[in-house]
Amino acid sequence: MKIAAYQGPSPEGDLFYAFRKIDETLAQAAKQGAQMVVFPELYLLGYNQMHHHAELAQSVGGDWEMRCATLAQKHKCGLTIGWAERDGGILYNSASTFDANGTKLGRYRKIQLWGSVEPSVFAFGDSYTTFTLNGVKTAILICYDVEFAQHCRALADMAVKRILVPTANPADFSLVCNTLVPARATENNQTIVYANYCGADNGLSFCGQSIIAGPAETILTQATRDAEILLIADLNETDQIEPSQLSTQQADYRKVSP
């Protein structure tokens, strides 16, 4: 399976621009044989557009999700994308995955809201979302979630082999892209697709450096800090890693009492 991560600038509240970019990117990805594209966190409207999210957040099954499903079906390429979800009077920082037929495979609500601004707008998610993608058990996490070894380990214990991560990682946190994401992938024998913004949004700058990392210290592809780019990786490479090279931490772990 070929999978892609889109790194690009924020739509900065321009929904027309966002859907045009999704349309163009899915077309480009499909042409290169990719079967899934992961977009950044809260891509519909842009991450640092909290006033827009509070005003325009949509319900599950609303126009945004339907348009995403239609575009996935149009290009025969799956899509994972972040958006603001409204459930009654409660808002969530969510992401949805659609397969190449436009079928929604799952919707996830961010568990680890970051900083002080996110919790002031969104409620905390409280559960994982898993599904089968091309025969492989897959999950969604969002940005800060993947920095917690406990979440990736919990998903590994659920036999999840691939994690799709829309993110909005700021300029001062390159450590996440370059160290934590590869570490999570290596220690849990997972492939992590981490799609970040580049540039700035409403005064917040991003570090770019989106990455697709696999087990056994495998960095399949990574972006630079500033480039708008579509990263594509063939996950058959991670499926064929020699078992003796994979981490044995899960099997070797010894729990001791405090």
Q: What is the CATH number of the domain that holds 60?
A: 3.60.110.10
Domain presence at residue 109: yes
Task: Please state the rounded mean pLDDT for residues 87-116.
Answer: 98
Domain presence at residue 20: yes
Task: Inform me whether the pLDDT recorded for 15 exceeds 90.
Answer: yes
Domain presence at residue 258: no
Task: Confirm whether 21 is a catalytic residue.
Answer: no
Range of the structural domain that residue 163 is part of = 2-252
Task: Confirm whether 12 is a catalytic residue.
Answer: no
Task: Please state the rounded mean pLDDT for residues 147-156.
Answer: 97
pLDDT category of residue 114 using cuts at 50, 70 and 90: very high
| pLDDT given at position 253 | 87
| pLDDT given at position 249 | 87
Q: In the block, which residue shows the tokens 């492939």?
A: 191
Task: Inform me whether the pLDDT recorded for 196 exceeds 90.
Answer: yes
Task: Please state the rounded mean pLDDT for residues 32-48.
Answer: 98
Q: State the average pLDDT for the chain.
A: 97
| pLDDT given at position 59 | 98
Task: Inform me whether the pLDDT recorded for 224 exceeds 90.
Answer: yes
pTM exceeds cut of 0.75: yes
Domain presence at residue 140: yes
Task: Inform me whether the pLDDT recorded for 243 exceeds 90.
Answer: no
Domain presence at residue 257: no
| pLDDT given at position 139 | 98
Task: Please state the rounded mean pLDDT for residues 108-123.
Answer: 97
Structural domains of the chain, count: 1
Set 68, 110, 177, 207: catalytic member: 110
pLDDT category of residue 154 using cuts at 50, 70 and 90: very high
Task: Please state the rounded mean pLDDT for residues 244-256.
Answer: 89
Q: Which two tokens stand for residue 116?
A: 């002080």
Set 68, 77, 143, 152: catalytic member: 143
Domain presence at residue 42: yes
Set 41, 65, 85, 118: catalytic member: 41
Task: Inform me whether the pLDDT recorded for 251 exceeds 90.
Answer: no
| pLDDT given at position 237 | 80
Q: Are 140 and 163 in contact (CB under 8 A)?
A: yes
Domain presence at residue 125: yes
Task: Confirm whether 41 is a catalytic residue.
Answer: yes
Domain presence at residue 245: yes
Task: Please state the rounded mean pLDDT for residues 34-51.
Answer: 98
